[in-house]
Each structure stands twice: as C-alpha cells, then as structure tokens.
Amino acid sequence: MIKAVQKYLLLFLILIAAQLLAFDNIEFSGYINPYVYILFVLLLPFEIPRALLLLLAFALGLIIDLFLGTPGVHSSATVLMAFMRPVILVVFAPQDGYQKGTNPRIACYGLEWFVKYAATLVIIHHFTLFYLEVLSLDHFINTLLRILASAAFTLLILVLSQFLVFRK
C-alpha cells in the first residue's frame, strides 16, 4: 500500500514537472498544446474511491493553474474529466469486466481499449479547457480545431508513454 502511494506521488510530481518545464513550452502555430499531466488521472487504479479521485484531480489542476496563471481553468477541466472517468470506464469495460489488481494501461487491456478510453477523456478535458479559456463561441470552429489538434497530439504522447515508460 505504501509503495503504491509513493509510486503515484512520484508520478504526480513527475507529470507536473514535465508539463511545466517541457510540454507547456510546446506550441505549434497556436493550435497544438499538449497537456500530459492528465495522464495521472488516467492511470489511477480502477478501485480508487470517487471522492479521492476528484480530490486528486482538483489538486493536480490547481497546481497547474497556480503555475500557469489560469485561475480555475485547468482544475475545472481536470475535475470534469475525473468525474466522467467512472462512466467512461463502464462504457469501455471488457465483457468479463476489469480484472482485480490491474490498472488502466495498454499492457493490461491493449492498445485499442486504451486509445478509446484515453481519447474520450482527453477530448472531455480539452473541450472544457479550451472553451473555458476563450469563454466565447465567437471562434467556435477555430477553438474546435485547437481542441482536436491538441487532443490528437496529447493522445499520441500518452500512448507513447505507455510503450516507453509503463510497459511490463
């Protein structure tokens, strides 16, 4: 139990540092902004209590908000993503359910499952994030293109991380 808490705390800190020091500086022509810190919420165990899931998502988003000067934008998007996570897990559950002691990773459930699961939550996060950021529907198509491009790039990085870092 202690080892698992230490592992997730380390993941929490590494993803925040990676987001703030590296990925926040990536911007391709104003359309692609990867947000890899959300991988923390995606990789939490299936059995995590919902209140703890929401609290961790809020803390993660709040820390990103504090460093990026975006009051409440990241925390709102991350909490909504975490709120929707149990529903998405039910929607994409294998026929025989999730095996006890496994985690939502490519190594456990395959690439197709992970891409569907992660893509859905990434789009929820990015949709909320970008529309809260602009707070306007004046540039609806432009913002939608930013969402899709950023979500695709973020998803690519998340999938690559599964093969490079979180393999068996």
As for how many domains the chain has, the answer is 1
Q: Cα 86 vs. chain centroid, distance in angstroms?
A: 14
Torsion, CA 95, CA 46, CA 49, CA 3, rounded to 10:
150
Single-letter amino acid code for the residue at 107? A
User: CA-CA distances (angstroms) from residue 90 to 12, 13, 44, 59, 147?
Assistant: 25, 28, 15, 25, 25
SS3 sequence, the chain? CHHHHHHHHHHHHHHHHHHHHCHHHCCECCCECCCHHHHHHHHCCCCCCHHHHHHHHHHHHHHHHHHHCCCCHHHHHHHHHHHHHHHHHHHCCCCCCCCCCCCCCHHHHCHHHHHHHHHHHHHHHHHHHHHHHHCCCCCHHHHHHHHHHHHHHHHHHHHHHHHHCCCC
Question: What pLDDT does residue 139 have?
Answer: 86
Quote the tokens at residue 47.
Answer: 């059995």
Q: What is the pLDDT along the chain (168 residues), one digit of tens a residue?
A: 688 889 999 999 999 999 999 998 877 777 788 999 999 999 999 999 999 999 999 999 999 999 999 999 999 999 999 999 999 999 999 988 898 888 899 999 999 999 999 999 999 999 999 999 998 888 899 999 999 999 999 999 999 999 987 665
**Containing structural domain, residue 83:** 2-164
Question: What pLDDT does residue 137 have?
Answer: 81
User: Whole-model pTM?
Assistant: 0.93
